[in-house]
A = this chain, B = another copy of it.
Amino acid sequence: MSFDQIVVTYRIETPGSVEQLAAKIASDQSTGTFVALPGETEELKARVAARVLSVRHLPPLGTPSIPGGVGPFNRGEADIAFPLDAVGTDLSALMTIAIGGVFSISGLSGIRIVGLKLPPAYAVHPGPKYGLAGTRALTGVQGRPVIGTIVKPALGLRPHETAEMVRELIASGVDFIKDDEKLMSPAYSPLGERVKAIMPLILDHEQKTGKKVMYAWGISHADPDEMMRNHDIVAKAGGNCAVVNINSIGMGGMAFLRKRTELVLHAHRNGWDVLTRHPGLGFDFSVWQQFWRLLGVDQFQINGIGVKYWEPDDSFVASFEAVTTPLFTPSDCAMPVAGSGQWGGQAPETYRRTGRTVDLLYLCGGGIVSHPGGPAAGVVAVRQAWQAAVDGIPLDDYAKTHPELRQSIEKFGGGTNG
């Protein structure tokens, strides 16, 4: 790590010269179209010019990432260093200077940002307020994954209907419940009324059992002032978590919220996939997540093993490693949230491939809600699956003496139960 520069790695694809495009990026994204100023040129370049550090060639492609042109399409990874003085530590400046402009350069048939090394000056950003430690402290869950579920259907329940579902979910022994990310404050379920219908159930349960279920409320709004009003409704009622649609509110919304938040911020990244799904375009998650962690994400949804979406397992595993690797200090890590089609059957593979840790939020929708024995049995089954994973016992064996897990395997297991 260098103290005075930012190093960005671009995977460049072009029918022309990778080196020439790397040089063009360095020029365009710093001094740009150059008008010589007598006597100033060298000093100015030293002050702010980006430099190509190295280019590593990759095998060319026969088919371009962006259609058109005649191959072969040459590829290489270029490390380019930007002087810290040219960029500063503002994350919008970093995005615009080092990344934003490169997608418009002509002569490319593909470009993907695959590396970002920030100097220690970026530790100035707040990072997560709660993260893993805060989530464990607030839920009281230690030594195993925090187990969560999601209110279904996604949209359409009125507050009293949602409350009836949540009552059953709280009674199930689950640690965490969340609004679907698509639910914020529509006319049929204004956040204030939803909070009023549900928070007493959570607080009553805490009174009776000592266990406070963490409920993540959909507070997102394009207007940061409105989002803070939503935040305050939740915080005043005793809530302690919020679902935040980070792409939709943008870096400005996230920065604004983080400075003022009393809640754990659970990031949903809907919209992200368009920035990463094509392997020749956009971003690696390892780059993009750095922005959002510095901005303050506490819990980061990153899909899981065997999800219903397009994302392959390897990508989830890489994302898990990314969010749990410190940028500057361990407290800047986000708590990974594994979700989508989870029911416990993926626990052994999740455990095996993520460094044998139980430090995650494991989010099961149907896997808990639709368990044949009801949500309580669903939660028990998920805990059993994780215990089996940690103990190294095949799920089918463990299920012989654990009927809830057996029921889950019978209902949800399509051979993915490791």
- Spell out A's residues near B (CB within 8 Å): 28-35, 37, 40, 44-45, 47-49, 63, 65-67, 85-88, 90-93, 95-97, 99-101, 103-108, 152-157, 161, 180-182, 184-188, 220-227, 245, 247-256, 259, 268, 270-275, 277-282, 295, 308-311, 365-366, 369-370
What's the Cα separation between A277 and B245 when bound, in Å? 24
| Structural contact, A48 and B188, CB atoms closer than 8 A | yes
Residues in chain B near residue A256, CB distance under 8 A:
223-225, 252, 256
Given contacts A99-B271, A274-B103, contact A152 B32 (CB under 8 A): yes
Complex-state Cα separation, A223 to B33, whole angstroms: 29
12 contacts between A and B (CB under 8 A): A30-B156, A31-B155, A33-B366, A63-B67, A90-B226, A92-B220, A103-B273, A106-B308, A248-B251, A249-B250, A250-B251, A274-B281
Taken together as a complex, chains A and B put the C-alpha atoms of A188 and B47 apart, in Å, by 9
User: Could you tell me if A252 and B224 are in contact, using CB atoms closer than 8 angstroms?
Assistant: yes
Tell me the minimal C-beta distance from A229 to chain B in angstroms.
12
Known A103-B274, A104-B310; further 8 A-B contacts with Cβ < 8 A = A87-B186, A90-B223, A91-B222, A96-B270, A104-B309, A224-B255, A251-B252, A274-B282
Most central of A30, A225, A248, A278 by chain B CB within 10 Å: A248
Q: Looking at the assembled complex, report how far the CB atom of A119 sits from the nearest CB atom of chain B, in whole angstroms.
A: 14
Q: Is the CB of B311 within 8 A of A104?
A: yes
Minimum C-beta distance from A254 to chain B (A):
7
Output the nearest chain B residue to A31 by Cβ-Cβ distance. Answer: B153
* Top 9 A-B residue pairs of the complex, sorted by shortest distance between their CB atoms: A250-B250, A252-B253, A32-B154, A100-B270, A92-B248, A100-B271, A103-B273, A48-B156, A252-B252
